[in-house]
């Protein structure tokens, strides 16, 4: 019996090898082509942002590649020289950061706490709570916009604190909508951590808090990093929530800034391209700095 | 160091019909090495986890070092548990795994360093201190798990089948290391295993548990020579004891035992004293137990067990061979010298001296003396 299993295993492996080896070259070429095609819009945006404004309507952006000396940072200089005036590029960049960083940190923090409690807590009804959280994941954002605006106004009527039109108002909404998925992700990842590890730590003298940040948190880092990146990019790219909840606020995030440029009779393509490149840089930094936490097999060697 | 006393310790998981542990009473002296053995699912881990404080006690008392610890959280019980699964922290190095508990207790750095170094030396881990658990072999992980317990210098060591994941050779080696460790530390150790050989070789005393009930508690020698009942007799010793149901024949001058069939090939002759006891007793049957290592080929003069049996299987083990034979449709196992000329299909006589023969009550399974 064991022999049979082994031999089929072997043939499978051999077949897999012979099939994979010759296809590796072509598949790499295809992947390379896809990657290049994928990059074209971004590169064009970059080039446009580096061309003098006057050139835009005259010739296609690829022409600039033939004459690299014509490229200039003047678009960036003009926008940065405006400084932090409300409605300017730098002010929008700051506003985007002001919204995205807290909205990401809060979701990651709460999701970690909730995941720990849902998996390792010793209270009844954990599964029911988790099911409710999963259910909340399917609520679309659009459905909640108006009720939440009304709710914000009610808060203003009752306590004199109306988050509508403020940056905290936007943050609260993003946190509330990021949490179900965050909790779902962290809970599922944490349930893969062997309970023995926590019991060992408890026996060695760790309280629940120490167990959380010395054992569970380091082991949940890969999930935490993915969640942070997801949430960051989702909030960073959000236009709808910011448009609805910022009302007439003079400080707007980059998405609203870019949208406004497009809305006037004639679009300011030099501002749009320059602003878009600026808005891409921050998520890239976030992605690459969290990427090193995506390690497979964090739990290897723990048990057995 | 401390003694451990369990009084009527009981665990009933909600939803289970029978308690997983039923009224366990056990006294472990300071510095003693006690093994908890029993078949799978008999409640060994449950007992250990209750002592460790990882599981609530349904009823009964746990006393460690003269202090009742039922309501004490595990971190205040001054015990270390070596998990069956090792439970090493995968994100920490070997050194950090071992020093984890000491750091939590804010032990001075120099002291931690020294404790880790000396434990590493004892367990031969010095060269591995900077590695992560994933980079270790099973045996090395096992030693790290032991080391983690060792550095804390606890009052009581609890170990849950620490060798079950090792291969046979490494198991024998680590077994010796643990025994040596106990000798050196003179620490109180409670060691769970389902392997009776481990228990016999390491323990000062063995507690045999079956279905949540303590069957017998005593030295390996006691358990081997004077098993309380048929379960213990069958569990201790390898291969297990042969059991034969026999009829008490009172019709003759001196009572003797014969096999159940009319023309039986199995016979046990008794001493005068035993004969008198049996004559006065009632009941027609009795269970006779003989260990394979006590059976010899051929007949002997003294009164005792003898059976004419047909050899079915011979397992050659080097110095000895295990003979599986049947007599009256009862299987008998005997360990014979490999030089014996027994062959498959032979009809041989297997005998054992009377002082090595055990008698058990057929209904209660209790040992009759
Ligand atoms: N958390 C639990 N909930 C319900 N029943 C349990 C639980 N843990 C163990 N049991 C039951 O209690 C009994 C004893 O289990 P235990 O783990 O103590 O066995 P064991 O002697 O350690 O066995 P093994 O040698 O297989 O490790 C088993 O019947 C098991 O099904
Ligand atoms: Mg067990």
Compute CA distances B343 → B111, B212, B247, B336, B346, whole Å. 65, 43, 30, 12, 6
Interval between CA B39 and ligand 1 midpoint (Å): 11
Angle in degrees, CA B253, B256, B261, rounded to 5 = 120
Parallel, antiparallel or unpaired: strands B59-64 and B67-68: antiparallel
User: Model confidence over A30-60: pLDDT tens digits?
Assistant: 999 999 999 998 888 888 888 887 777 777 7
Q: How far apart are CA A242 and CA A234, in angstroms?
A: 12
Least confident of A7-21, B25-39, B51-65: A7-21
Ligand 1 in reach of B44 Cβ (< 6 A)? yes
Residue B17 in tokens: 């019909």
Please state the domain extents for chain A. 2-72, 82-303
End-to-end CA distance of chain B: 38
Q: Is the pLDDT at A10 greater than 50, yes or no?
A: no
Is the CB of residue A217 less than 8 Å away from at least one CB of chain B? Answer: no
- How far is B239 from chain A, CA to nearest CA, in Å? 27
Q: Is the pLDDT at A1 greater than 80, yes or no?
A: no
- Range 64-123 of B in CB contact (< 8 A) with A: 73-75, 79-81, 83, 85-91, 100-101, 104-105
Please provide the average confidence, as pLDDT, over all residues in chain A: 85
Q: Write down the pLDDT at residue B167.
A: 82
Whether the Cβ atoms of residue A224 and residue A217 lie closer than 8 Å to each other: yes
Whether the Cβ atoms of residue B11 and residue B57 lie closer than 8 Å to each other: yes
> Hey, are the CB atoms on B133 and A218 less than 8 Å from each other?
no
- How far is B148 from chain A, CA to nearest CA, in Å? 9
Interval between CA B312 and ligand 2 midpoint (Å): 36
Largest CA distance in chain B: 81
Superfamily of domain A82-303: MetI-like (1.10.3720.10)
Q: How far apart are CA A129 and CA B36, in angstroms?
A: 40
User: Model confidence over B117-134: pLDDT tens digits?
Assistant: 999 988 889 999 999 999
Between B229 and A265, name the one with better pLDDT.
Answer: B229
User: Model confidence over B127-159: pLDDT tens digits?
Assistant: 999 999 999 988 889 889 999 998 988 999 999
Residue B191 in tokens: 């060691």
Ligand 1 in reach of B46 Cβ (< 6 A)? yes
User: Model confidence over A273-288: pLDDT tens digits?
Assistant: 888 998 999 999 988 8
Is the CB of residue B135 less than 8 Å away from at least one CB of chain A? Answer: yes
Q: What is the mean pLDDT of residues A111-132?
A: 93
> Hey, are the CB atoms on B88 and A302 less than 8 Å from each other?
yes
Count Cα neighbours of B175 within 13 Å in the Cβ-side half-sphere: 23
Q: Is the pLDDT at B17 greater than 60, yes or no?
A: yes
Q: Write down the pLDDT at residue A3.
A: 40
Q: Write down the pLDDT at residue A23.
A: 61
CATH for B242-368? 2.40.50.140
Helix (H), strand (E) at residue B94: helix B94-104
Q: Where in chain B is the domain with CATH 2.40.50.140?
A: 242-368
Residue A77: burial class (beta carbons within 10 Å; 0-12, 13-18, 19+): exposed
Ligand 1 in reach of B210 Cβ (< 6 A)? no
Long-range contacts, A71-80 (Cβ 8 Å, 24+): A71/A47, A75/A49, A75/A50, A75/A51, A75/A270, A75/A271, A75/A273, A75/A274, A76/A49, A76/A274, A79/A271, A79/A274, A79/A275
SS3 letters for B212-262? CEEEEEECHHHHHHCCCEHHHHHHCCCCCCEEEEEEEECCCCCCEEEECCC
Q: Is the pLDDT at A230 greater than 70, yes or no?
A: yes
Q: Which of the residues A192, A197, A200 would you substitute to probe the B interface, choosing the one with the greatest number of B C-beta atoms within 10 Å? A: A200
Parallel, antiparallel or unpaired: strands B188-193 and B33-37: parallel
Nearest CA in chain A to B135: A301
Ligand 1 in reach of B34 Cβ (< 6 A)? no
Q: Where in chain B is the domain with CATH 3.40.50.300?
A: 4-235
Q: How far apart are CA A15 and CA B88, in angstroms?
A: 38
Closest CA to ligand 1's atom 14: B43
pLDDT band for B299, please (50, 70, 90 cuts): confident
- Which residue from B41, B195, B208 has its CB within 8 A of the most atoms of ligand 1, so it is best to mutate? B41
User: Model confidence over B321-342: pLDDT tens digits?
Assistant: 999 999 888 899 999 988 888 8
Interval between CA A270 and ligand 2 midpoint (Å): 70
Whether the Cβ atoms of residue B190 and residue B62 lie closer than 8 Å to each other: no
Hey, what CATH topology would domain B4-235 get? Answer: Rossmann fold (3.40.50)
Q: Write down the pLDDT at residue A35.
A: 93
> How many other C-beta atoms can be found within 10 angstroms of the C-beta atom of residue A52?
14
Q: How far apart are CA B79 and CA B95, in angstroms?
A: 20
Q: Which of A194, A199, A204 sits opposite B101 (nearest CB)?
A: A204
Q: Is the pLDDT at A19 greater than 60, yes or no?
A: no
Q: Is the pLDDT at B291 greater than 90, yes or no?
A: yes
Least confident of A176-180, A223-227, B276-280: B276-280
Using alpha carbons, select from A259, A269, A199, A276 the residue that is nearest to residue A58. A269
Q: Is the pLDDT at A271 greater than 90, yes or no?
A: no
Whether the Cβ atoms of residue B101 and residue B83 lie closer than 8 Å to each other: no
pLDDT band for A265, please (50, 70, 90 cuts): low
Q: Is the pLDDT at B89 greater than 90, yes or no?
A: yes
Q: Which of B75, B85, B88 sits opposite A202 (nearest CB)?
A: B75
- How far is B87 from chain A, CA to nearest CA, in Å? 5
Angle in degrees, CA B76, B81, B84, rounded to 5 = 150
**B229 - beta bridge partners?**
B366
Q: How far apart are CA B177 and CA B191, in angstroms?
A: 14
Residue B355 in tokens: 């002082």
Compute CA distances A128 → A43, A156, B124, whole Å. 49, 33, 49
Residues of chain B above pLDDT 70, percent: 99
Ligand 1 in reach of B100 Cβ (< 6 A)? no
> How many other C-beta atoms can be found within 10 angstroms of the C-beta atom of residue A35?
9
Interval between CA B28 and ligand 2 midpoint (Å): 20
Q: Can you give the pTM of this predicted structure? A: 0.80
Q: Write down the pLDDT at residue A300.
A: 73
Q: What is the mean pLDDT of residues B226-236?
A: 94
């Amino acid at each position: 019996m064991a022999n049979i299993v082994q031999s089929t295993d072997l043939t499978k492996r051999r077949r897999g090898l012979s099939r994979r080896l010759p296809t590796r070259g072509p598949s790499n070429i295809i992947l390379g082509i896809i990657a290049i095609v994928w990059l074209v819009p971004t590169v064009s945006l970059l080039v446009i942002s580096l061309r003098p404004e006057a050139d835009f309507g005259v010739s296609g952006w690829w022409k600039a590649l033939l004459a690299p000396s014509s490229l200039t940072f003047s678009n960036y200089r003009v926008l940065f020289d405006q400084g932090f005036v409300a409605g300017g590029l730098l002010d929008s960049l700051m506003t985007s950061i002001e919204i995205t960083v807290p909205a990401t940190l809060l979701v990651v923090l709460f999701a970690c706490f909730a995941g720990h409690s849902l998996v390792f807590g010793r209270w009844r009804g954990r599964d029911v709570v988790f099911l409710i959280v999963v259910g909340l994941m399917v609520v679309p954002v659009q459905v909640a916009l108006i009720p939440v605006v009304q709710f914000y106004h009610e808060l203003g009527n009752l306590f004199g604190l109306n988050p509508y039109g403020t940056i905290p108002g936007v943050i609260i909404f993003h946190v509330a909508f990021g949490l179900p998925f965050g909790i779902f992700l962290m809970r599922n990842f944490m349930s893969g951590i062997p309970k023995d590890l926590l019991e060992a730590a408890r026996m060695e003298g760790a309280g629940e808090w120490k167990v959380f940040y010395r054992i569970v948190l380091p082991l949940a880092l890969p999930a935490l990093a993915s969640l942070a990146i997801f949430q960051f990019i989702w909030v960073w790219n959000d236009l709808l929530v910011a448009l609805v909840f910022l009302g007439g606020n003079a400080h707007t995030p980059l998405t609203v800034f870019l949208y406004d440029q497009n809305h006037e009779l004639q679009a300011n393509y030099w501002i749009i391209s320059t602003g878009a490149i600026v808005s891409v840089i921050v998520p890239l930094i976030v992605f690459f700095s969290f990427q090193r936490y995506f390690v497979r097999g964090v739990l290897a060697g723990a048990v057995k | 160091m401390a003694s451990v006393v369990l009084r009527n310790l009981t665990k009933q998981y909600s939803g289970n019909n029978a308690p997983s542990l039923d009224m366990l009473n056990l006294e472990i002296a300071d510095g003693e090495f006690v093994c908890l053995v029993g078949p799978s699912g008999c409640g060994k881990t449950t007992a250990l986890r209750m002592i460790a404080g990882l599981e609530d006690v349904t009823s009964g008392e746990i006393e460690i070092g003269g202090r009742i610890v039922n309501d004490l959280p595990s971190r205040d019980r001054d015990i270390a548990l070596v998990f069956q699964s090792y439970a090493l922290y995968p994100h920490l190095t070997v050194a950090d795994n071992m020093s984890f508990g000491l750091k939590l207790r804010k032990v001075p750095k120099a002291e931690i360093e020294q404790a880790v170094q000396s434990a590493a030396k004892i367990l031969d881990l010095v060269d591995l201190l900077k590695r992560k658990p994933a980079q270790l072999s099973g045996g090395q992980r096992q030693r790290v798990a032991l080391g983690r317990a060792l550095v804390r210098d606890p009052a009581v060591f609890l170990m849950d089948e620490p060798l079950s994941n090792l291969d046979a050779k490494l198991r024998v080696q680590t077994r010796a290391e643990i025994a040596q460790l106990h000798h050196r530390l003179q620490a109180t150790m409670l060691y769970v295993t389902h392997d009776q050989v481990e228990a016999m070789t390491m323990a000062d005393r063995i507690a045999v548990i079956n279905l949540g009930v303590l069957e017998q508690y005593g030295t390996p020698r006691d358990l081997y020579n004077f098993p309380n009942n048929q379960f213990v007799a069958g569990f201790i010793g390898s291969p297990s004891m042969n059991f034969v149901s026999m009829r008490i024949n009172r019709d003759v001058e001196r009572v003797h035992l014969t096999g159940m069939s009319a023309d039986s090939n199995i016979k046990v002759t008794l001493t005068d004293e035993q004969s008198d006891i049996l004559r006065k007793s009632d009941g027609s049957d009795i269970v006779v137990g003989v260990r394979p290592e006590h059976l010899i080929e051929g007949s002997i003069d003294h009164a005792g067990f003898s059976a004419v049996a047909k050899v079915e299987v011979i397992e050659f083990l080097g110095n000895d061979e295990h003979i599986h034979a049947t007599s009256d449709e009862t299987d008998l196992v005997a360990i014979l010298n490999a030089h014996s000329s027994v062959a498959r299909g032979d009809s041989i006589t297997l005998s054992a001296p009377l002082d090595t023969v055990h008698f058990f009550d057929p209904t209660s399974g209790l040992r009759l003396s």
